[in-house]
Amino acid sequence: MYSTKYVKATNVNKAASIIADAEDGKFLAGGMTLIPTLKQRLASPDLIIDLSDCKLTGIEDEGASIRIGAMSRHIDVAESVLVQNAIPAIANLASQIGDRQVRNRGTIGGSLANNDPAACYPSALLGLGGTIHTQNRSILAEDFLTGMFETDLEEDEIIIGISFPKPDKAAYVKFPNPASRYAMVGVFVAKFSDGVRVAVTGAGEDGVFRASNIEAALDESFKANSIIDGLVSADNLMSDIHASAEYRAHLIGEMTRRAVIACG
Amino acid sequence: MNVNGNSATHEVPDNTLLVTFLRETLGLTGTHVGCDTSQCGACIVHLNGESVKSCSLFAAQADGATITTIEGIADGDTLHPMQQAFHENHGLQCGFCTPGMVMSAIELVTKNKNLTERDIREGLEGNICRCTGYHNIVKSIQAAAEKMS
């Protein structure tokens, strides 16, 4: 690892002002991506600003939505009775991320700020049409997720919490890579009174995306057999050593069927 | 921080990983480094009672925390029930992954009651063993779970 400095910020405004003075500072949430990245020398920030003392935890019921503090760890979300009751699909998603040790450290805010194209949480944000709250503003999911590993966040902007509207039904099903546990394909299906939203992670060349033709098919009939072969195109899907674009297209259909069935 | 019941205060470079601090500063070499990609789990220790990969954490992040390593779980000459179960069930071959397996398994058994074999296999997602094929590790954890309940 390259040499770097480490500081712990005690609140979000201090963290933002500290990073403004750094040449190439990075915020540290759970560190489950950042620290392995530093170990591989794929990044060389001159300053690491730990957000763990910024009091960004806590999960609240806001009536029509729930709000999850950005530094809530995957284990906190998975075990939250509030989340399990309000949007069980999110608790279930969190319980499938990485392994137990990753879930004991990794955070929802860190995952969303990183926007890894194979991460699970971006599909919940987009699938539910959630809102990112930073110290400066609120950002809708569609505006926040701007591409693979890219978000609308400014350099000194910190996610403080995320709101997720409560759907009538929702489910997340992923086909994990057997080695990394990242989603080779993950599908988040959410049924609201005004329509169905379907977000796909692990497959898109530009990161998580909404599958509009699947949404249209499920709007017409919310049944697993609405997802017919050929509905999902391999265009703009990733092709790598783990899976071809065509195989991913097939998996999107299958994971969607399973998610619709899981919705009950 | 407190490590295995002893206070440990040292100045280290900012980018020191917790595993490096444990092994090189404190000489607690029971915690292993088996990969460079945060996948293998040989470095698992307990941080405030929860299992974490000490290779994916700066020592500074554990400032003030309570750490337990493989060296800290036996009671004098009496092995921890999990260690004893690995011994009795031949839950290791080369032994390299064992410290991480044991620390991971202790948290799994402590936090969950009535674990099925499938629960145990899923609970070991973060630990890689390249010798045993996992069967005897799972048997060891099942045996320890009975003794620890």
Whether residue A89 is predicted with pLDDT greater than 90 in this model: the reply is yes
How far B107 CA sits from the closest chain A CA (Å)? 10
Mutate to test the interface with B, among A4, A47, A99 (most CBs of B within 10 A): A99
Instruction: Name every residue whose Cβ is closer than 8 Å to that of residue A56 and which is 6 or more positions away in sequence.
Output: A12, A69, A70, A71, A72, A109, A158, A160, A161
In chain B, the N- to C-terminal Cα span, in Å, equals 30
pLDDT for the residue numbered A257 = 97
Whether residue A181 is predicted with pLDDT greater than 90 in this model: the reply is no
Query: Within 10 Å of residue B11's Cβ, how many Cβ atoms?
Result: 6
For B68-122, the pLDDT digits (tens) are 999 999 999 999 999 999 999 999 999 999 999 999 999 999 999 999 999 999 9
Tell me what the pLDDT averaged over chain B comes to: 97
C-alpha to C-alpha distance for B43 and B21, rounded to whole angstroms: 12
Q: B81-148, what's its fold?
A: DNA polymerase; domain 1 (1.10.150)
DSSP code of residue B130: S
Of B50, B60, B125, nearest to A104 by CB-CB distance is B50
C-alpha to C-alpha distance for A91 and A24, rounded to whole angstroms: 34
pLDDT for the residue numbered A180 = 79
CB pairs under 8 A between A and B: 76
> Which whole number is the average pLDDT over A175-203?
94
pLDDT for the residue numbered B25 = 98
The residues spanned by each domain of chain A are: 5-50, 59-165, 169-263
The verdict on a CB contact (< 8 Å) between A99 and B37 is no
pLDDT for the residue numbered A62 = 97
Which is nearest to B120 in space by CA: B99, B134, B103?
A: B134
For A231-247, the pLDDT digits (tens) are 999 999 999 999 999 99
Instruction: Name the closest residue on chain A to residue B17, using Cα atoms.
Output: A35
The verdict on a CB contact (< 8 Å) between A4 and B14 is yes
Q: Which CATH number fits domain B2-72: 2.40.30.10, 3.40.50.300, 3.40.50.2300, 3.10.20.30?
A: 3.10.20.30
The verdict on a CB contact (< 8 Å) between B39 and A179 is yes
Which is nearest to A260 in space by CA: A208, A188, A160?
A: A188
Whether residue A146 is predicted with pLDDT greater than 90 in this model: the reply is yes
Which is nearest to B149 in space by CA: B141, A105, A4, A103?
A: B141
Which ranges constitute the DSSP H helices of B51-94?
Answer: 81-88
C-alpha to C-alpha distance for B19 and B42, rounded to whole angstroms: 10
Q: Tell me how far CA of residue A147 lies from CA of A42, A138, A151, in angstroms.
A: 19, 19, 7
SS3 for B86-116 is HHHCCCCCCCCCHHHHHHHHHHHHHHCCCCC
Which is nearest to B30 in space by CA: B65, B64, B80, B89?
A: B80
The residues spanned by each domain of chain B are: 2-72, 81-148
Residue A230 binned pLDDT confidence (cut-offs 50, 70, 90):
confident
C-alpha to C-alpha distance for A212 and A31, rounded to whole angstroms: 34
pLDDT for the residue numbered B81 = 98
Beta bridge mates, A171:
A189
Could you tell me whether strands A5-8 and A131-134 are parallel, antiparallel, or unpaired per DSSP bridges? unpaired
The answer to whether B43 and B100 are in contact (CB under 8 A) is: yes
Q: A5-50, what's its fold?
A: 3.30.43
For A12-52, the pLDDT digits (tens) are 999 999 999 999 999 999 999 999 999 999 999 999 999 99
A169-263 under CATH 3.30.390.50, yes or no: yes
The verdict on a CB contact (< 8 Å) between A100 and B126 is yes
pLDDT for the residue numbered A67 = 98
Residues of B whose CB is below 8 A from A107: none
Q: Name the percent of chain A lying above pLDDT 90.
A: 96
Residues of A whose CB is below 8 A from B13: 3
Q: Name the percent of chain B lying above pLDDT 90.
A: 99
pLDDT for the residue numbered A229 = 83
> Which whole number is the average pLDDT over B58-76?
97
Which is nearest to A119 in space by CA: A176, A3, A201?
A: A201
> Which whole number is the average pLDDT over B32-51?
96
Mutate to test the interface with B, among A79, A100, A103, A107 (most CBs of B within 10 A): A100
Instruction: Report helix, strand or coil for B45.
Output: strand
pLDDT for the residue numbered A178 = 81
Tell me what the pLDDT averaged over chain A comes to: 96
Q: What distance lies between CA A227 and its chain's CA centroid? A: 24
> Which whole number is the average pLDDT over A215-224?
97
How is domain A59-165 classified at the architecture level of CATH? 2-Layer Sandwich (3.30)
Instruction: Name the closest residue on chain A to residue B100, using Cα atoms.
Output: A101
Beta bridge mates, A147:
A150
Whether residue B149 is predicted with pLDDT greater than 90 in this model: the reply is no
Instruction: Report helix, strand or coil for A107.
Output: strand
Of A3, A35, A102, nearest to B126 by CB-CB distance is A102
Whether residue A112 is predicted with pLDDT greater than 90 in this model: the reply is yes
For A149-180, the pLDDT digits (tens) are 999 999 999 999 999 999 999 999 999 998 77
